[in-house]
A and B are shown apart, each in its own frame.
Chain A
Amino acid sequence: MNGDSPISIRNLSVLYGDHLALKDVSLDIPAKRITSIIGPSGCGKTTLLKSLNRLLDTDDGVRVRGQVLLDGEDIYAPRTEVTRIRRKMGLLSQRPQVLPMSIYDNVAYGPRIHGLRSRKELNERVERYLRLAGLWDEVEGRLREPASLLSVGQQQRLCLARGLAVEPEIILGDEPTSALDPQSSQNVERRLLELKRDYTVIVVTHILRQARRIADHIAFLYLGELVEQGPAAEVFAAPKDPRTRAYLTGEIS
């Protein structure tokens, strides 16, 4: 579609059994910006995020209607290869999920799966993305240690490096700082702000202040509906919908 929007969501509805989790959502995600999906818990933020890389597929009894266009290609088309779609996006989950292997192998996992064998290239990639995630200096001498020995904050940055190592275009964050202490949260936020130079970032958050700090673009979901979206400055300064205003002032949460 247009070059400014790597992801276009068109009339997307998601049903869990009889429960309509997303109602007819349409949204263009701007390229090389941080888009924050905000809204009270249970409003469908995570569902929307997981619909973007088809992680919804792993749930039983989910039905998806509508389209998600990734660089113009409908990812829900029957022919689409799901592993290729997922590879274009790195995911940061609520709690860092390190794989049960060494720090090095965590980062090398993705590239290896996609067929990279050369030791030298793997080493380069591991170093490059650990640096980009701001973790290299802390783990340089202990790459062979189990990743589970890292602190939670370090683990989350390792997950970031792991996601970056498959060289995606988009970074998805599902409340990526919710398990972290303030300092680590700040660290992750700083990384995201740096990364938006090269990547399109989409972050689900229930922390309004976080959205204010990092978001360029806001999408406000309420009860499965996309109530309002637009540039962050506009949405925060002058929300158009009364529900958005109510949420921003803390009347609904």
Chain B
Amino acid sequence: MRLLKDALARRAMAVIAALPGLLVLFIVIGLFLRSKAILGVEPLSRFLFSSAWSPMKGEFGLLPFIAGTMWVTLTALALAVPVSILTAIYLSEYAPRWARRAAQPVIDLLAGLPSVVYGAWGVILVVPFVGNVLAPLAGVYSSGYSILAGGIILAIMTFPTIIHVTLEVFASVPRALREASLSLGATKWETTRHVVLRKGAQGILAASVLGFSRALGETMAVLMVVGNVPSVPRSLFDPGYPLPALIANNYGEMMSIPRYDAALMMAALVLMLIVLAFNVLARGILIRVERKVR
């Protein structure tokens, strides 16, 4: 009887554990089926590499949106990763214990804030800052609703995640290992750079991947500050129109236009594949790093 229960439990848990994996497959298949309507009409490359977007005329080039997504995400990461790592280094290696204790709940709180809150804050603060301060500094005109504003907001939103995970990575580096380096006469910074960072490289990379994945799909806050103009951005101060914003803005309003629905499904599918490809790439890098240092 007990053995039977054990066997049953094992089966049940195996099925449940397999669900998330299957879910990814189902989503891809579902999106693919819904976007097939448009695939039959024109070749795939037309959608991916054309920047003509006028649904009324039946042109659905996704390039501006793909470019918008990449621009915003890369800007966000370029800002978020270094700042997060330096923050985590400070908190874990230099700050007194009380500061670390005080900072951690605040960081976790930031991670849990709804993204509309970030969006609203972005509209009242970041957008004017970009439009009135940064753009004139760079000698260009910008309304402020731009890739840069989107990137800044996204960076702020990904900080907490990256900092949190990086802190845990640093905490897992044994104290005695730091002491080994210090006892050779290394300074704290040398120890951090050569020992702690190196030992934690893998984890930091994983933390960045986590942040990246979140940034790629983040919709609301970005949509509110990025300008939503369907053209390929040429500078950080240009407005952009990332894929998630496109889908969120238009879904439900496009019933009258033929094939619009399928085009949006296509957009979702592309977004999904970008996230997937990125994760696979990151995993590859992770494995290589793992082999190199241990």
Enumerate chain A interface residues (CB-CB to B < 8 A). 53, 55, 58, 60, 83-84, 86-87, 89-91, 93-95, 97, 99-101, 109-110, 113-114, 146, 148-149, 159, 162-163, 166, 172
Q: Would you call B180 and A113 a contact (CB within 8 A)? A: no
Residue of B nearest to A149 (CB): B294
Q: Would you call A163 and B183 a contact (CB within 8 A)? A: yes
Q: Would you call B184 and A60 a contact (CB within 8 A)? A: no
Q: Which of B190-198, B238-246, B248-256, B263-271 contacts A (4 or more CB under 8 A)?
A: B190-198
Q: Would you call B195 and A110 a contact (CB within 8 A)? A: no
Q: Would you call B182 and A58 a contact (CB within 8 A)? A: yes
Q: A53, A87, A146: which contacts B293 (Cβ < 8 A)?
A: A146
Q: Would you call A99 and B183 a contact (CB within 8 A)? A: no
Q: Does residue B179 face the partner (Cβ distance < 8 Å to A)?
A: yes
Q: Would you call A83 and B186 a contact (CB within 8 A)? A: yes
Q: A55, A84, A148, A162: which contacts B294 (Cβ < 8 A)?
A: A148
Q: Does residue B185 face the partner (Cβ distance < 8 Å to A)?
A: yes
What's the nearest-Cβ distance from chain B to residue A108, in Å?
11
Q: Would you call B176 and A97 a contact (CB within 8 A)? A: yes
Q: Which residues of A contact B97 (CB under 8 A)?
A: 60
Q: Would you call A99 and B181 a contact (CB within 8 A)? A: yes
Q: Would you call A113 and B177 a contact (CB within 8 A)? A: no
- Pairs A–B under 8 Å by Cβ, sample size 18: A55-B179, A55-B182, A58-B175, A58-B179, A58-B182, A83-B186, A97-B176, A99-B180, A99-B181, A100-B195, A100-B198, A101-B194, A101-B198, A109-B181, A110-B185, A146-B293, A146-B294, A166-B184
CB-CB contacts of B149-181 with A at 8 A, as 1s and 0s? 000000000000000000000000011111111
Q: Would you call B178 and A100 a contact (CB within 8 A)? A: no
Q: A100-B198, A100-B294 are in contact. Are A113 and B176 (CB under 8 A)?
A: no
Q: A95-B176, A97-B174 are in contact. Are A89 and B183 (CB under 8 A)?
A: yes
Q: Which residues of B contact A89 (CB under 8 A)?
A: 183
Q: Would you call A91 and B190 a contact (CB within 8 A)? A: no
Q: B175, B182, B293: which contacts A86 (Cβ < 8 A)?
A: B182
Residue of A nearest to B198 (CB): A100
Enumerate chain B interface residues (CB-CB to A < 8 A). 96-97, 174-187, 190, 194-195, 198-199, 292-294
- A35 CA to B215 CA, complexed, in Å: 58
Query: Apart from A109-B184, A113-B190, what are 10 other A-B pairs with CB-CB below 8 Å?
Result: A55-B182, A86-B182, A86-B184, A95-B176, A97-B176, A97-B179, A100-B198, A101-B194, A101-B198, A162-B180
Count of chain A to chain B residue pairs whose CB atoms are closer than 8 Å in the complex: 75
Q: Which residues of A contact B176 (CB under 8 A)?
A: 93-95, 97
Residue of B nearest to A166 (CB): B184
Q: Would you call A93 and B185 a contact (CB within 8 A)? A: no
- A91 CA to B198 CA, complexed, in Å: 21
What's the nearest-Cβ distance from chain A to residue B201, in Å?
8
By Cβ-Cβ distance, the 3 closest A-B pairs, closest first, are: A87-B185, A91-B183, A110-B184
Q: B174, B175, B180, B182: which contacts A159 (Cβ < 8 A)?
A: B180
Q: Which residues of A contact B194 (CB under 8 A)?
A: 99, 101, 109
Most chain B CB within 10 A, of A83, A86, A100, A159, is at A100
Most chain A CB within 10 A, of B184, B194, B195, is at B184
What's the nearest-Cβ distance from chain B to residue A175, in Å?
12
Q: Which residues of A contact B96 (CB under 8 A)?
A: 60
- A92 CA to B292 CA, complexed, in Å: 25
Q: Would you call A90 and B293 a contact (CB within 8 A)? A: no
Q: Which residues of B contact A95 (CB under 8 A)?
A: 176
Q: Which residues of A contact B177 (CB under 8 A)?
A: 97, 99
Residue of A nearest to B195 (CB): A99
What's the nearest-Cβ distance from chain A to residue B169, in Å?
13
Q: Which residues of B contact A97 (CB under 8 A)?
A: 174, 176-177, 179-180
Residue of A nearest to B98 (CB): A60
What's the nearest-Cβ distance from chain A to residue B200, in Å?
9
Q: A60-B97, A100-B293 are in contact. Are A84 and B178 (CB under 8 A)?
A: no
What's the nearest-Cβ distance from chain A to residue B93, in Å?
10
- A114 CA to B175 CA, complexed, in Å: 22
What's the nearest-Cβ distance from chain A to residue B237, in Å?
42
What's the nearest-Cβ distance from chain A to residue B99, in Å?
11
Q: Which residues of A contact B175 (CB under 8 A)?
A: 58
- A94 CA to B179 CA, complexed, in Å: 12
Residue of B nearest to A165 (CB): B184
What's the nearest-Cβ distance from chain B to residue A200, in Å?
16
- A128 CA to B180 CA, complexed, in Å: 20
Q: Which residues of A contact B292 (CB under 8 A)?
A: 146
Q: Would you call A113 and B184 a contact (CB within 8 A)? A: yes
Residue of B nearest to A91 (CB): B183
Q: Which residues of A contact B190 (CB under 8 A)?
A: 113
